């Protein structure tokens, strides 16, 4: 089970990113638990400068804009 955090104050793109993570995980068959982090202080703690951000098992893999589905799959599979 991979723990995925989607960092973002709740904007449209943050919601879309969370959905993309779920889709990518389903596609490659990796079980995930997705958690949305909306608190600004908590987001800032990850050291990113743009949202949405994606953190997989504690590692920041993406920040700013929508990630590409194939990149998500790659990160989830790693």
Partner 1 sequence: MTAPTLISPAPGVPSRPARDPRSARWVAATVAALAGWAVLYSLLQPFADWVVAVLPIPPAGRLHEAVAFFAYDTPKVLLLLAIVVFAMGVVRSFFSPERTRALLAGKREGAGNVAAAMLGIVTPFCSCSAVPLFIGFVSAGVPLGVTFSFLISAPMVNEVALGLLFGLVGWKIALTYLAFGLGVAIVAGWVIGRLHLEGWLEEWVRNVRGGVAELPPVEVTVIDRITAGLDAMKDIIGKVWIWIIAGIAAGAFIHGYVPAEMLASIMGRQSWWSVPAAVLLGVPMYSNAAGIIPVVEALIGKGAAIGTVLAFMMAVTALSAPEMIILRKVLSVRLIAVFVGVVATGILAVGFLFNLLFA
Binding residues (CB under 8 A) for partner 1: these are 7-9, 11, 13, 39-51, 53, 55, 58-65, 68, 71, 74-75, 78
Q: CA angle, 15 as apex, 11 and 16 as ends, to 5°? A: 110
Query: Nearer Cβ to partner 1, position 27 or 64?
Result: 64
Q: Where are the beta strands (DSSP E) in the chain?
A: 2-7, 32-37, 53-56, 59-63
Smallest gap from residue 1 Cβ to partner 1 (A): 18
First to last CA, the chain: 13
Smallest gap from residue 34 Cβ to partner 1 (A): 16
Query: Nearer Cβ to partner 1, position 25 or 37?
Result: 37
Smallest gap from residue 23 Cβ to partner 1 (A): 18
Q: What is the rounded CA–CA span in Å between residue 60 and residue 22?
A: 17
């Amino acid at each position: 089970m991979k723990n995925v955090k989607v960092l973002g104050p709740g904007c449209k793109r943050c919601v879309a990113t969370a959905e993309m993570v779920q889709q990518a995980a389903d596609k490659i068959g990796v079980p995930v638990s997705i958690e949305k982090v909306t608190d600004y202080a908590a987001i800032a703690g990850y050291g990113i400068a743009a949202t949405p951000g994606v953190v997989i098992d504690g590692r920041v893999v993406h920040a700013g804009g929508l990630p590409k589905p194939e990149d998500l799959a790659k990160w989830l599979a790693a």
